[in-house]
Amino acid sequence: MSDDEQLDVIAVGAHPDDVEIGCGGTVAKLAEAGWRVGIVDLTDGEPTPVSTGPEMRMAEAAAAATVLGVKKRITLPLVNRRLMDGWDERVALANVFRRHRPRLVIGLGERTPLASPDHWQAMQITDAAMFYSRLTKWDEKFEGTTPHRIKALLHYSLGYEPFTAAPAGTVMMVDIGSTLEKKIEAVKCYASQFPPEKAQLFDRVKAMNQSYGFAAGVEACERLCSPRPFAVTDLMGQLGLGRPL
Protein backbone atom coordinates (compact mmCIF):
# COMPACT_ATOMS: atom_id res chain seq x y z
CA MET A 1 0.00 0.00 0.00
CA SER A 2 1.31 3.45 -0.87
CA ASP A 3 1.85 6.03 1.85
CA ASP A 4 -1.18 8.06 0.72
CA GLU A 5 -3.62 5.34 -0.38
CA GLN A 6 -7.16 5.96 0.80
CA LEU A 7 -8.57 4.08 3.80
CA ASP A 8 -12.29 3.75 4.48
CA VAL A 9 -11.91 3.55 8.26
CA ILE A 10 -9.20 4.56 10.71
CA ALA A 11 -9.30 3.39 14.33
CA VAL A 12 -7.17 5.43 16.75
CA GLY A 13 -5.63 4.35 20.05
CA ALA A 14 -3.21 5.92 22.48
CA HIS A 15 -1.15 2.72 22.59
CA PRO A 16 -0.84 -0.54 20.66
CA ASP A 17 -3.56 -2.86 22.07
CA ASP A 18 -6.14 -0.10 22.73
CA VAL A 19 -7.94 -0.66 19.43
CA GLU A 20 -7.78 -4.44 19.77
CA ILE A 21 -9.43 -4.38 23.20
CA GLY A 22 -11.93 -1.61 22.48
CA CYS A 23 -13.13 -2.38 18.96
CA GLY A 24 -11.03 -5.20 17.53
CA GLY A 25 -14.07 -7.27 16.62
CA THR A 26 -15.58 -4.38 14.69
CA VAL A 27 -12.29 -3.72 12.90
CA ALA A 28 -12.02 -7.38 11.90
CA LYS A 29 -15.64 -7.49 10.71
CA LEU A 30 -15.19 -4.38 8.56
CA ALA A 31 -11.99 -5.81 7.09
CA GLU A 32 -13.70 -9.11 6.30
CA ALA A 33 -16.45 -7.19 4.50
CA GLY A 34 -13.87 -5.60 2.20
CA TRP A 35 -13.52 -2.17 3.81
CA ARG A 36 -10.01 -0.72 3.86
CA VAL A 37 -9.27 -0.32 7.57
CA GLY A 38 -6.23 1.24 9.22
CA ILE A 39 -5.06 1.65 12.80
CA VAL A 40 -3.18 4.64 14.19
CA ASP A 41 -1.37 4.26 17.51
CA LEU A 42 -0.46 7.71 18.84
CA THR A 43 2.50 6.29 20.79
CA ASP A 44 4.50 3.06 20.81
CA GLY A 45 3.26 2.36 24.35
CA GLU A 46 6.74 1.99 25.77
CA PRO A 47 8.23 1.63 28.31
CA THR A 48 6.21 -1.08 30.05
CA PRO A 49 7.26 -3.51 32.78
CA VAL A 50 7.67 -6.75 30.79
CA SER A 51 8.45 -5.56 27.26
CA THR A 52 12.05 -5.58 26.11
CA GLY A 53 11.47 -2.31 24.25
CA PRO A 54 9.69 -0.66 21.33
CA GLU A 55 10.84 -3.29 18.83
CA MET A 56 8.99 -6.01 20.74
CA ARG A 57 5.84 -3.91 21.04
CA MET A 58 5.92 -3.02 17.34
CA ALA A 59 6.27 -6.69 16.40
CA GLU A 60 3.27 -7.51 18.58
CA ALA A 61 1.27 -4.69 16.98
CA ALA A 62 2.13 -5.90 13.49
CA ALA A 63 1.06 -9.44 14.38
CA ALA A 64 -2.25 -8.19 15.80
CA ALA A 65 -2.88 -6.09 12.69
CA THR A 66 -2.38 -9.17 10.53
CA VAL A 67 -4.90 -11.11 12.63
CA LEU A 68 -7.48 -8.33 12.28
CA GLY A 69 -6.87 -7.91 8.54
CA VAL A 70 -6.08 -4.18 8.59
CA LYS A 71 -4.46 -2.60 5.53
CA LYS A 72 -2.09 -0.25 7.32
CA ARG A 73 -0.89 0.38 10.86
CA ILE A 74 0.80 3.68 11.71
CA THR A 75 2.64 4.51 14.93
CA LEU A 76 3.07 8.22 15.51
CA PRO A 77 6.19 9.44 17.34
CA LEU A 78 4.29 10.85 20.31
CA VAL A 79 5.40 10.05 23.86
CA ASN A 80 3.80 7.36 25.99
CA ARG A 81 2.94 8.41 29.56
CA ARG A 82 3.33 12.06 28.56
CA LEU A 83 0.72 12.21 25.81
CA MET A 84 -1.00 15.59 25.89
CA ASP A 85 -3.49 17.31 23.61
CA GLY A 86 -1.41 19.99 21.92
CA TRP A 87 -0.72 21.58 18.56
CA ASP A 88 1.96 19.13 17.42
CA GLU A 89 -0.13 16.13 18.46
CA ARG A 90 -3.22 17.41 16.65
CA VAL A 91 -1.29 18.17 13.47
CA ALA A 92 0.45 14.78 13.49
CA LEU A 93 -2.88 12.94 13.49
CA ALA A 94 -4.58 15.40 11.14
CA ASN A 95 -1.82 14.73 8.61
CA VAL A 96 -2.71 11.04 8.70
CA PHE A 97 -6.39 11.83 8.17
CA ARG A 98 -5.64 14.20 5.28
CA ARG A 99 -3.28 11.70 3.67
CA HIS A 100 -5.50 8.61 3.96
CA ARG A 101 -8.93 10.34 3.74
CA PRO A 102 -11.11 7.97 5.81
CA ARG A 103 -14.90 8.12 5.80
CA LEU A 104 -15.15 6.93 9.41
CA VAL A 105 -12.90 7.41 12.42
CA ILE A 106 -13.28 5.21 15.51
CA GLY A 107 -11.57 6.68 18.56
CA LEU A 108 -11.43 6.51 22.33
CA GLY A 109 -14.48 7.97 24.00
CA GLU A 110 -13.87 8.41 27.71
CA ARG A 111 -11.53 8.67 30.65
CA THR A 112 -10.19 5.46 32.15
CA PRO A 113 -10.01 6.06 35.92
CA LEU A 114 -7.05 4.36 37.63
CA ALA A 115 -5.60 3.60 34.18
CA SER A 116 -3.55 5.62 31.72
CA PRO A 117 -4.47 9.32 31.38
CA ASP A 118 -3.20 9.02 27.80
CA HIS A 119 -6.60 7.61 26.84
CA TRP A 120 -8.46 10.82 27.65
CA GLN A 121 -5.82 12.89 25.89
CA ALA A 122 -6.14 10.64 22.84
CA MET A 123 -9.86 11.41 22.67
CA GLN A 124 -9.17 15.15 22.64
CA ILE A 125 -6.42 14.80 20.04
CA THR A 126 -8.64 12.70 17.76
CA ASP A 127 -11.56 15.13 17.96
CA ALA A 128 -9.31 18.09 17.22
CA ALA A 129 -7.49 16.31 14.39
CA MET A 130 -10.81 15.57 12.68
CA PHE A 131 -11.56 19.32 12.74
CA TYR A 132 -8.08 20.23 11.52
CA SER A 133 -8.37 17.68 8.73
CA ARG A 134 -11.05 19.70 6.96
CA LEU A 135 -9.55 23.17 7.32
CA THR A 136 -8.82 25.09 4.12
CA LYS A 137 -6.24 27.80 3.44
CA TRP A 138 -3.80 26.16 5.84
CA ASP A 139 -2.16 23.48 3.72
CA GLU A 140 1.33 24.67 4.63
CA LYS A 141 0.63 23.58 8.23
CA PHE A 142 -0.13 20.03 7.08
CA GLU A 143 2.78 18.99 4.85
CA GLY A 144 0.96 20.22 1.78
CA THR A 145 -1.88 17.69 2.16
CA THR A 146 -5.31 18.77 0.95
CA PRO A 147 -8.32 19.22 3.25
CA HIS A 148 -10.53 16.22 3.94
CA ARG A 149 -13.89 16.16 5.74
CA ILE A 150 -14.49 12.95 7.72
CA LYS A 151 -18.15 12.04 7.62
CA ALA A 152 -18.56 10.05 10.84
CA LEU A 153 -16.98 9.53 14.25
CA LEU A 154 -17.64 6.66 16.66
CA HIS A 155 -16.24 6.21 20.15
CA TYR A 156 -15.18 2.96 21.79
CA SER A 157 -14.62 2.21 25.45
CA LEU A 158 -11.68 0.60 27.23
CA GLY A 159 -13.72 -0.15 30.33
CA TYR A 160 -13.92 -3.93 30.04
CA GLU A 161 -16.49 -4.48 32.77
CA PRO A 162 -20.08 -5.18 31.64
CA PHE A 163 -21.51 -2.42 33.82
CA THR A 164 -19.12 0.36 32.82
CA ALA A 165 -21.08 3.43 31.73
CA ALA A 166 -21.09 4.08 27.99
CA PRO A 167 -19.43 7.17 26.52
CA ALA A 168 -21.89 9.99 25.95
CA GLY A 169 -23.89 9.80 22.72
CA THR A 170 -26.05 7.45 20.71
CA VAL A 171 -25.23 3.87 21.70
CA MET A 172 -25.08 1.07 19.16
CA MET A 173 -24.15 -2.58 19.51
CA VAL A 174 -22.05 -4.08 16.72
CA ASP A 175 -22.57 -7.82 16.28
CA ILE A 176 -19.09 -9.37 16.47
CA GLY A 177 -20.12 -12.97 17.01
CA SER A 178 -18.26 -14.01 13.88
CA THR A 179 -15.07 -12.14 14.83
CA LEU A 180 -14.94 -12.47 18.63
CA GLU A 181 -12.30 -15.20 18.55
CA LYS A 182 -10.26 -13.20 16.06
CA LYS A 183 -10.41 -10.21 18.43
CA ILE A 184 -9.18 -12.29 21.37
CA GLU A 185 -6.42 -13.76 19.19
CA ALA A 186 -5.29 -10.23 18.32
CA VAL A 187 -5.22 -9.17 21.98
CA LYS A 188 -3.18 -12.28 22.81
CA CYS A 189 -0.50 -11.08 20.37
CA TYR A 190 0.58 -8.66 23.13
CA ALA A 191 2.49 -11.15 25.25
CA SER A 192 4.50 -8.29 26.76
CA GLN A 193 1.34 -6.67 28.09
CA PHE A 194 -0.61 -9.78 29.07
CA PRO A 195 1.82 -12.37 30.47
CA PRO A 196 0.41 -15.56 32.06
CA GLU A 197 -0.38 -13.84 35.36
CA LYS A 198 -2.72 -11.47 33.48
CA ALA A 199 -4.38 -14.11 31.31
CA GLN A 200 -7.71 -13.52 33.06
CA LEU A 201 -8.08 -10.37 30.97
CA PHE A 202 -8.90 -12.43 27.89
CA ASP A 203 -11.86 -14.03 29.64
CA ARG A 204 -12.98 -10.68 31.02
CA VAL A 205 -12.95 -9.03 27.61
CA LYS A 206 -14.73 -11.98 26.06
CA ALA A 207 -17.34 -12.03 28.83
CA MET A 208 -17.99 -8.32 28.40
CA ASN A 209 -18.60 -8.73 24.66
CA GLN A 210 -20.80 -11.74 25.29
CA SER A 211 -22.86 -9.87 27.88
CA TYR A 212 -23.50 -7.09 25.36
CA GLY A 213 -24.43 -9.75 22.82
CA PHE A 214 -26.85 -11.51 25.16
CA ALA A 215 -28.59 -8.18 25.80
CA ALA A 216 -28.92 -7.62 22.04
CA GLY A 217 -29.97 -11.19 21.25
CA VAL A 218 -26.77 -12.28 19.50
CA GLU A 219 -23.60 -14.10 20.51
CA ALA A 220 -21.33 -11.10 21.14
CA CYS A 221 -21.24 -7.33 20.58
CA GLU A 222 -18.98 -4.34 20.94
CA ARG A 223 -20.53 -1.15 22.24
CA LEU A 224 -19.82 1.95 20.16
CA CYS A 225 -21.25 5.44 20.58
CA SER A 226 -21.87 8.24 18.13
CA PRO A 227 -21.42 11.74 19.60
CA ARG A 228 -24.17 12.91 17.23
CA PRO A 229 -27.57 11.39 16.42
CA PHE A 230 -27.75 9.69 13.05
CA ALA A 231 -30.64 8.78 10.76
CA VAL A 232 -31.59 5.24 9.76
CA THR A 233 -32.77 5.07 6.15
CA ASP A 234 -33.58 1.35 6.08
CA LEU A 235 -35.43 0.74 9.35
CA MET A 236 -36.54 -2.83 8.62
CA GLY A 237 -33.11 -3.80 7.31
CA GLN A 238 -31.42 -2.18 10.30
CA LEU A 239 -33.61 -4.29 12.59
CA GLY A 240 -32.66 -7.43 10.66
CA LEU A 241 -36.18 -7.97 9.36
CA GLY A 242 -35.25 -8.47 5.71
CA ARG A 243 -37.26 -7.46 2.65
CA PRO A 244 -41.01 -6.86 2.25
CA LEU A 245 -43.20 -9.96 2.01
| pTM strictly above 0.85 | yes
The secondary structure of 89-102 as a DSSP string is HHHHHHHHHHHH--
Would you say 30 and 174 are in contact if contact means Cβ atoms under 8 Å apart?
no
Rounded CA-CA distance 153/202 in Å is 27
pLDDT tens over the chain, length 245 residues: 456 789 999 999 999 999 999 999 999 999 999 999 999 999 999 999 999 999 999 999 999 999 999 999 999 999 999 999 999 999 999 999 999 999 999 999 988 888 999 999 999 999 999 999 999 999 899 998 999 999 999 999 997 766 677 777 899 999 999 999 999 999 999 999 999 999 999 999 999 999 999 999 999 999 999 999 989 899 988 888 888 87
DSSP state of 166: P
Fold of 9-238: Rossmann fold (3.40.50)
Q: From residue 201, give the alpha-carbon distance in Å to each of 22, 159, 190, 195.
A: 13, 12, 12, 10
Rounded CA-CA distance 183/28 in Å is 7
DSSP state of 194: S
